[in-house]
Amino acid sequence: MQLTVWTYEGPPHIGAMRVATAMRGLHYVLHAPQGDTYADLLFTMIERRDARPPVTYTTFQARDLGSDTAEIFKNAVAAAYERFRPEAMIVGASCTAELIQDDPGGLAKALALPIPVIPLDLPAYQKKENWGASETFYRLVRTLCGPRAEAVGKAGRRPSCNILGPTALGFRHRDDLVEIRKLLDALGIDVNLVAPLGASPADLGRLGEADFNVVLYPEIARATGQHLQKTFGQPMVETVPIGVAATIRFVEEVAAIAGVDPAPVLSGAPSRLPWYSRSVDSTYLTGKRVFIFGDATHALAAARVAATELGFKVVGLGSYAREFAREIRAEAALHGIEATITDDYLDVEAAIQASAAELVLGTQMERHIAKRLGLPCAVISAPIHVQDFPARHSPQMGFEGANVLFDTWVHPLMMGLEEHLLGMFREDSEFHADASPSHLGPGHHPVPPPSAGEGGPRVSEGRERGAPGPERSPPHPPAPQAPSPAEGGGSSGAANSTWAPDAEKELKKIPFFVRGKARANTERFARERALPLITVETLYDAKAHFGR
Amino acid sequence: MNAHAPLTAFENERGLEIRQERGQRAVFCGLTGIVWLHRKIQDAFFLVVGSRTCAHLIQSAAGVMIFAEPRFATAIMDERDLAGLADMNDELDAVVGRLVARRPEIKLLFLVGSCPSEVIKLDLSRAAQRLSRSLAPDVRVLSYSGSGIETTFTQGEDACLASLVPEMPAEAEQAEPALLVVGALADVVEDQFARIFSEMGIGPVRFLPARRAGAMPPVGPNTRYLLAQPFLTDTARVLDERGATRLAAPFPLGAEGTTGWLKAAADAFGVEAGRFAAATAPGLRRADQALAPYRAMLTQRRIFFFPDSQLEIPLARFLSREMGAELVEVGTPYLHRGHLDREMALLPRGTRIVEGQSLDAQMDRCRQARPDLTVCGLGLANPLEAEGLATKWSIELLFTPIQGYDQAGDLAELFARPLVRRTRLEV
């Protein structure tokens, strides 16, 4: 059993729902207990879809367990076919139905419906949402894609590709798709098919007609892309075009495969990010300490953009996608850090605290953590809430996506002049050292100092909790009253050094967003030298030692 | 799709058409009750023993308030547990140990059963006893089931409160008759009712659940209880077993329901008519004043209820009698005929009540009737709006103070708002 406060991914059948809901003409019959229809509102509320997901649930109850739940399932499949007349159907079980072992695939097959019925085997106690989406998409394509069309008449037509990966409930999938279509069109490449989003089962039969595949979201479409590569020999572009450099690389790769000239697309200044980032107003962004967490695709992309396009320092990188752990670890190594590969929210919390980051780029869950620690935060990856399905065009991919990234990531930071003034003057009643950035509303205050009240024990919880595990490496020994790294006050969390009152006071003169780092460095400095008392001198000795 | 056809339809002695339906049900499971219960009992923690689906459900349902440190979590069972590689009781003890260390302020821990834990018959009540012993005296551990196979939405609160009843202290011998109000109410509503009862001279008045785990009220043969919510079947039964007596009443929704509810207590405690009138008059006057502007918006509006919380019948009664609305269909996930007797007596003859659900069939009826307002869950609301039907999402009725005189206007406003909004939007 695993203690779970928040979960980064839903169960695998949610992934299957994301594929079914993305498509047209496909229906999903899910053997599930009453109550599992909550999943509908992910689509109707968070993504604000205007139709019910194409999912029929058996919604069995306890009284049904005594009788024939298999019969209930068969009736549901038959009724769903009659009512919705889909082109194809997927059938499967949720976690509870998996326990009662009714064999949805076999039962549905026995009905001999005149359409393809694809059984899904999604082990709910081992796998999660993205795996479920990937597996579902792969099964659908395996079953439904027709033979490879001969590349006849290729000379007379534009090259074409499939775009694989966008689903329902995907982070900015809608707008990423617009950007990628724009790029491909400008390169003179046709889009044969986008799938799963907007495709019908019949459409999947035409996948073989394209010259190559673009895999936008490897979590969802890598398996399918590899299958198509193996079966049809279709090359696959898997460079995720998030950020300016990645987009340029993507364009070059696609152009090379398609045999077209990338120069017209890359000429000029296709994105504003490079100039914005070079303009002197951005100088203060240099070396900002950033912690990055999310799915693998977005976390990897964010790390590269943060380091090489915005000039941040990546002090933490991690993902809940264990399937991509190797890539994440390799990227983390480039930044000289160790990757945080975990789906345990509490481990992420501990890692963020330990990193003394000034900015967190993460998921909805990291917003919780950042809020508690009083850190600026921007969302770069699912899981996400309703505000990250915006009405406006907000891609992450392509050149326009890079513009969006610049605005979104810089916005939560204190603006340059304010940051300077805070470093010089501290006693202002309005712009005092612990005040939130004045361009953000009063709702953006960092959490109050965890002096005695609720904040204190809570903040230390993650650390205490994080201590025992072998994979976790808390930099501070556990301390019951350890203050948040984002904040000065309170007693010291160091094991064997205490802060002299005047040193503590001096520490408070450091702007709050770097104070955590200063505190950690000073305590480390004192620990390494076995200094029992941290004085003002120690603080400045440590500053000189570590630089910034 | 459990069965295709409606099972039975008959007209009861009140002239109501009561129909039962089985099939696909678009409802929440009882785990959802945690979302408000964990705020009501301030030092309680809810640990769901279930799957990733359960954890995902609660965090989805918790919606807007997920930025607060929640007092709930899930012990997710994994393959090792199911394959018997790990002893589930040992695993559970370890999880609880970590949790209690992390949250030392917890005084009451609920182990909440889910579909997976019920299907594999993990005995949470024994686990609760065992953990209570090992964590005593700091933490008391109780268990109940919020599984979808056994409970629908608000029935989770029923199961939770029913698990608390054996924990309530016995009332003192020769205790005076005391009034117990049962069902989680907004703090502000609780305080209002306490004031009115005090003006009527009724006392002591206590509330279940109490706001603190250590302050659960006593119960015994001199306890008279009023249900504040219509979904408390099991809680009422176990209160009866401890000798308490239920006061039959309508539910305190709208002015009429509130008066009827208070009157049941007044009668049981021998409050004189004059004193009752004096205590209720200011509330009635204010409710009347607050309801007036909404009456014009809701009168003769045709309303359709999908089943959700069991609040549907009292709400339908309020809308039809006080607001002049017409009832197309009143769906309820479960109909307790005894507890809702006073409510059903007030419904117009011919009202169609549907207990249970066959989702597609019910949606067909709704589309055909084209009601002016459809009360339904969030899975259906936007799709029906897109079809041109005005909807009121029903879960809000559990998250908003709606009981009592001073909330009557707010209650009406909840139904009027979607209609008003439609008149405002010009795009």
Tell me how far CA of residue A373 lies from CA of A360, A476, B223, in angstroms: 10, 16, 48
Q: Which of A161-175, A282-296, A367-381, B43-57 shows the lowest mean pLDDT across its residues?
A: A367-381
User: In sequence order, which ranges of A356-451 are alpha helices (DSSP H)?
Assistant: 364-373, 398-410, 416-424
Q: Which residues of A504-537 are buried (b: 16+ CB within 10 A; e: fewer)?
A: bebbbebbbbbbbbbbbbbbbbbbeeebeebbee
Per-residue pLDDT, A426: 65
| Res A453: pLDDT | 33
Model pLDDT, residue A12: 98
Mean pLDDT of B289-312: 97
**pLDDT at position A459:** 33
Identity of residue B251: F
pLDDT band for position B61 (cuts 50, 70, 90): confident
Asked whether the predicted pLDDT for residue A26 surpasses 70, the reply is yes
Separation in Å, CA of B158 to nearest CA in chain A = 16
Q: Reduced to 3 states, what is the DSSP secondary structure of residue A485?
A: coil
A164 phi and psi angles, rounded to 5 deg = -110, 135
pLDDT score for A101: 86
* DSSP 8-state code for residue A43: I
CB-CB under 8 Å, A2 with B76: yes
CA distance A255 to A185: 11
* pLDDT, position A183: 97
Which range (A297-311, A426-440, B13-27) has the least confidence? A426-440
Q: Does the pLDDT at position A366 exceed 50? A: yes
- Transcribe A253-288 into DSSP letters: HHHHHHT---HHHHSS---SHHHHHHSGGGGGGTT-
User: Is a pLDDT exceeding 70 seen at residue A334?
Assistant: yes
pLDDT band of residue A518 (cuts 50, 70, 90) is: confident
What is d(CA A64, CA A78) in angstroms, rounded to the nearest whole number?
Answer: 18
Q: How far apart are CA B149 and CA B160, in angstroms?
A: 16
Give the separation between CA A540 and CA A528, rounded to whole angstroms. Answer: 15
Q: β-strands B140-145, A55-57: how paired?
A: unpaired
Question: CA-to-CA distance for A32 and B25, rounded, in angstroms?
Answer: 11
For residue B223, which amino acid is it?
T
Most A-contacting residue of B47, B102, B114 (CB-CB within 10 A), to test interface = B102
Instruction: State the Cα–Cα distance between residues A122 and A132, nearest whole angstrom.
Output: 6
pLDDT above 70 for A77: yes
pLDDT above 70: percentage of residues in chain B: 96
Distances (CA, A) of A363 to A135, A233, A433: 23, 36, 28
d(CA A537, CA A535): 5
User: Is 90 exceeded by the pLDDT of residue B221?
Assistant: yes
At A512 the pLDDT is 74
Closest chain B residue to A68, measured at CA: B2
pLDDT given for residue A452 in this prediction: 33
Rounded to a whole number of angstroms, the CA Rg of chain A reads 26
For residues A108 and A103, what is the distance between their CA atoms, to the nearest angstrom?
A: 9
Strand pairing category for B205-208 and B245-246: unpaired
- At A417 the pLDDT is 64
Q: How far B32 CA sits from the closest chain A CA (Å)?
A: 9
Cβ pair A465:B101 closer than 8 A: yes
Per-residue pLDDT at B8: 63
For residue A396, pLDDT over 70 is answered with: yes
Q: Compare CB distances from A57 to B24, B77, B86 and report the shortest one's residue.
A: B24
User: How far is it, in rounded angstroms, from Cα A39 to Cα B311?
Assistant: 23
Chain A residues near residue B103 by CB distance under 8 angstroms: 461
* A281 counts as catalytic: yes
Nearest CA in chain A to B61: A38
The mean predicted confidence, pLDDT, of chain A is 87
Of A185, A261, A281, A428, which is the active-site residue?
Answer: A281
pLDDT of residue B60: 83
Q: What are the residues facing A33 on neighbouring strands?
A: A60
Hey, are the CB atoms on B91 and A1 less than 8 Å from each other? yes
Kindly provide the b/e burial profile for residues A273-284, where b requires at least 16 CB atoms within 10 angstroms of the residue's own CB. bbebbeeeebeb
Q: What is the pLDDT of residue A86?
A: 98
pLDDT tens for each residue of B163-189: 999 999 999 988 899 999 999 999 999
CA A418 to chain centre: 31
- Backbone phi, psi, residue A520, to 5°: -60, -45
pLDDT, mean of residues A509-527:
84
User: Pick from A14, A60, A368: which is nearest to B56 by CB?
Assistant: A14
Q: How much is the pLDDT for B319?
A: 98
Closest-CA distance, B248 to chain A, in angstroms, reads 30
**Separation CA B172–CA B164 (nearest Å):** 19
Rounded mean pLDDT of B271-293? 97
Residue A506: band (very low, low, confident or very high) from pLDDT cuts 50, 70, 90? confident
Residues in Cβ contact with B384 at an 8 Å cutoff, skipping those fewer than 6 apart: B366, B374, B376, B391
Averaged pLDDT of chain B: 94
Of A64-78, A196-210, B144-158, B284-298, which gets the smallest average pLDDT? A64-78
CB A179 within 8 Å of CB A402 = no
User: How confident is the model over B32-43, as a mean pLDDT?
Assistant: 92
Task: Look at B386 and A76 and tell me if their CB atoms are within 8 Å.
Answer: no
SS3 for B298-313 is: HCCCEEEECCCCCCHH
Closest Cβ opposite residue A124 in set B32, B51, B379: B51
- Closest alpha carbon within chain B to A34: B148
pLDDT in the model for residue A430: 67
Bridge partners of A4, per DSSP, are B74
Nearest by Cα to A156 from A190, A193, A205: A190
CA distance B152 to B33: 9
From start to end of B96-215, where are the E strands?
A: 108-113, 140-145, 178-182, 205-208
Q: How far is CA B342 from CA A88, A107, A501, B288, B313, in A?
A: 50, 47, 69, 22, 11
Q: Which residues lie below 8 Å from residue A262, measured CB to CB, with a gap of 6+? A: A187, A251, A252, A254, A255, A256
Does residue B283 have a pLDDT over 90?
yes
- B56: which chain A residues are within 8 Å (Cβ-Cβ)? 7, 10-11, 14
Q: Are the beta carbons of B51 and A11 separated by less than 8 Å?
A: yes
